[in-house]
Structure 1
Amino acid sequence: MSRLPLTIAFSDYDRVAALSNGQVRPDGIDLNFLTLPVEETFFRMARHAEFDVAEMSLSSYCMTLARDPAPFIAIPVFPSRVFRHGSMFVSTKSGISSPTQLAGKRIAYPEYQMTAPVWMRGILSDDYGVRPSEVLHYSGGVEQPGRIEKLKLNLPPSIRWQPIGPEQTLADMLADGEVDALLAARPPSTLETRPDAVRRLFPDYAAEERAYFKRTRIFPIMHTVVIRREVYEANRWIAQSLLKAFCAAQRKTYADLAESHAFKAMLPWLPSHVEEVKREMGEDWWPYGFAANRHVLDTFLRYHHEQGLSPKRLAPEALFAPESLENFLI
């Protein structure tokens, strides 16, 4: 019996390496695995639905669910998760020494709808009282001018947003004090080239992130895995098959990190780091599956709606193929 060929686009993560190199094969599926930068994958999938399966920004995916028909369906696999206190940068010209001082200020992002800024705006709102309606929002290229939103925004009047000029970059605007803060997945170059002008909002961000996790039990989800809806509808079994395969590939990475005789990651104190993460976050510190992540997803979906990105507050269950909500492997 022939196997179903599917093209999948993904970044070069250790937790999917066993899928990309063929050590793990999804039941009944032959994968044409394309390793691409996340920005390229997101743009091509969001704009043109070029791939059968792809990783996608959680925020972008949630925005597509407002379309009729919705072009994608997800499975509860989360290849990218990042704590984001270390991704908040401020201009020293703005005199900001506390997160609460961001109220009423000018805050910028590569894109307003990106998942990372959704989490950061939510944290600032929940923990420091900086409401999205109380700041001025800007978006544009951090290092290169001309970046635009991948998906069209339809924000409520309470959210004051505008793109920066076509020749401007956020890295320079931050250093020059033209914006007060930048929330971005990557540090701006001016953090190093102009250290007197740009600094992190949380200097000891790792301590802030550990305290945040201890208090909330949230390890922020950045990306999920989506399937083109017409491919899924024609082959409903692939949701479970892909979920099983992603779980198997991740288990191999967990096993690789546990090997202490010859490290498989270039970290000098790898065993110590793994032991610390287990103490802080548990044995399955990067959980896949729906049940273990429902509280994280529910928090994110609240933020997404509060920030004007989804017209109604989505239920976590609405994001995923029904077949993938319960899995005997998770």
Structure 2
Amino acid sequence: MTVSCSLACGRYEWTRALWDGAVSPEGVDLTLLDYHNPERFARMVNNLEFDACELSMGTYLATRERRESFPFTAIPVFPHRRFRHSYIYKRTDSGIERPSDLEGSRVGVVNWQTTTGIWQRGILGEHYGVDPERIEWHRIGEEIVPIDVPDKFDVVDVDAGGGTVPYMESLLQSGDLDAVFHPVTLDIPEAERLFADPIEEEHAYYESTSIFPIMHAIVIRDEILTDHPWIVQTLYDAFETAKQRCLERLERPQWLPVLWPEIYLEREREIMSDPWEYGLTEDNRHTLETLVEYAASQGVADRRYDIDRLFEADSLDTGTFG
């Protein structure tokens, strides 16, 4: 029996084998769809437009208390992970020299539930002593899933007119913001990173926590999970096999347009064996528990969810993968 399945996910190197057809999930006629964030998230959340979808973990957590309105469940496949110290930017003339200087400043965020912001607020609070209640947060874009931000946070809504990230950058350039929590690299002359050596900060963070922040997970419509529960295993295996193909290519990375790629990879592997691991492993559980704690304390998640209740993984066999 073959099941048709539409999957919206990013074109990462570790999903390349799925996109080019070198890897196909057994028993599934897979149609891959390419949409950028946050359009992909909104299409899934608002319209259930796909059978499966790469979804922001922040948005996913915001839906869990209203599952009847958002009938999909995650599997422990995490296509996107990223350290987030590197993406906190300040104006060069803001007077902000250290994380604690963010208190009393005006900080722009795309929205409150973005996973980037959840991690950044949580990390700054837990590891640098920054009180997020003492920051004036400027929310530039709309929430994908409606949430009630707790009153203890000072949140100012800004009408970006549809161009959320460019408008946030313009506010930083004009001096209407002192800092921004950015989703991607920012390159404007008025801005610089909060951390002068973000790689060192992120390395130290990983050494002390064993956390490589999870940003996105794959979700599947509940109707499909009910009718074809085996699809969890076959999709997991396909994602894992595609990732392994990527890692095999990195053994001889002449194709990478990067100086000294072997040295970079050696250093990365000295720090962590498999940064991109899937499944509910010990490290992934710890990472997810930390994210859930941050999301609940910030009002994105309605409560501190048990990790096993967030993922359809009871019968999942990671086998030789993990």
- Which interval holds the TM-score relative to the shorter structure? over 0.9
Q: Does 1:82 find its partner at 2:75?
A: no
> What one-letter code is carried by the residue in structure 2 that aligns with 1:277?
E
Q: Where does the alignment leave 5 or more consecutive residues of structure 2 unmatched? A: none
Question: What corresponds to 2:108 in structure 1?
Answer: 108
Identify the residue that residue 156 of structure 2 maps to in structure 1: 162
Q: 2:201 aligns with which of 208, 224, 227?
A: 208
Structure 1 residues 253 and 166, CA gap change in structure 2 (3 angstroms)? closer
> 1:154 and 1:272 mapped to 2: Cα distance?
47
Native 8 Å contact 1:290 1:326 kept in 2: no
Q: Distance in 2 between matches of 1:72 and 1:316?
A: 16
How many Å apart are 1:310 and its aligned residue? 1.1
Aligned equivalents of 2:315, 2:206: Cα separation in 1:
26
Q: Secondary structure at the match of 1:288?
A: coil
CA distance in 2, matches of 1:150, 1:80: 19
What's the offset of the Cα at 1:233?
1.5
Counterpart of 2:294?
Answer: 303
Q: What amino acid is the match of 2:183? A: A
- Structure 2 residue aligned with 1:5: 4
Displacement, 1:94? Answer: 2.5
Compute the displacement of 1:324 (Å).
Answer: 5.6
Quote the residue 2:211 is aligned against: 218
Matches of 1:264 and 1:76, distance apart in 2:
30
Note the alpha carbon deviations across 1:219-268, whole angstroms, 9 max, x for none: 111111010111111111111111111111111111010125xx233223
Cα distance in 1 between the residues matched to 2:14 and 2:159: 39
Q: Deviations over 1:178-202 (max 9, x none)?
A: 22210011234xx42xx2x322101
* Conserved? CA contact 1:87–1:183, under 8 Å: yes
Residue type matched to 1:308 in 2? G
Indicate the residue corresponding to 1:19 in structure 2: 18
Q: Is the 8 A contact 2:118 2:294 kept in 1?
A: yes
Partner residue of 2:147? Answer: 153
| Contact 2:14 2:242 (8 Å CA) reproduced | yes
Offset of residue 126 of structure 1: 0.5
Q: Which amino acid aligns with 1:187?
A: T
| Counterpart amino acid of residue 280 in structure 2 | F
Aligned to 2:130: 130
CA contact (8 A) 2:112 2:300 kept: no
Determine the C-alpha separation between the residues in 2 that align with 1:166 and 1:264.
40
What's the CA shift for 1:281? Answer: 1.2
Aligned-partner Cα distance in 2 for 1:318–1:240: 17
Cα separation, 1, equivalents of 2:257 and 2:91: 33
> Where do 1:1-330 residues align within 5 Å?
2-69=1-68, 70-140=70-140, 147-166=141-160, 169-188=167-186, 191-192=187-188, 195=189, 197-260=190-253, 263-282=254-273, 284-291=274-281, 292-323=283-314, 326-328=317-319, 329-330=321-322
Give percent identity, aligned residues only: 34
| Partner SS for 2:65 | coil
Give the TM-score normalised by the residue count of structure 1. 0.90
What is the number of residues matched between the two proteins? 315
Q: Is the 8 A contact 2:87 2:185 kept in 1?
A: yes
In structure 2, the CA distance between the partners of 1:226 and 1:68, relative to structure 1 (3 Å rule), is closer
In structure 2, the CA distance between the partners of 1:13 and 1:113, relative to structure 1 (3 Å rule), is: same
**Is the Cα contact below 8 Å between 1:8 and 1:53 reproduced in 2?**
yes
- Which amino acid is 1:227 matched to? I
- Report if the CA contact (8 A) 2:113-2:143 is conserved: yes
Using the TM superposition, give the Cα deviation of residue 149 of structure 1 relative to its aligned residue in structure 2, in angstroms.
Answer: 2.0
Q: Cα offset for 1:64? A: 1.2
Normalising by structure 2, we get a TM-score of 0.93
Instruction: Give me the whole-angstrom Cα distance separating, in 1, the residues matched to 2:192 and 2:175.
Output: 12
In structure 2, the residue matched to 1:144 is: none
For 1:68 and 1:222, locate their aligned partners in 2 and report how far apart those are by CA, in whole Å: 20
Question: 5+ residue gaps in structure 1?
Answer: 141-146
Quick check: 1:5–1:30 contact (8 Å CA) kept in 2?
yes
Superposed displacement of residue 68, structure 1? 3.7
Structure 2 counterpart SS, 1:243: helix
Deviation of residue 301 (structure 1)? 0.5
Q: 2: distance between equivalents of 1:149 and 1:248?
A: 34
Distance in 2, Cα, partners of 1:316 & 1:118: 17
- In the TM superposition, what is the alpha-carbon distance from 1:206 to its structure 2 partner? 1.1
Letter in 2 for 1:47: N
The alpha-carbon deviation at position 326 of structure 1 amounts to 4.9
1:262-294 per-residue CA deviation (whole Å, 9 max, x = no partner) reads: x23322322111111111112x22211111400
Measured in 1, the distance between the counterparts of 2:236 and 2:136 equals 40
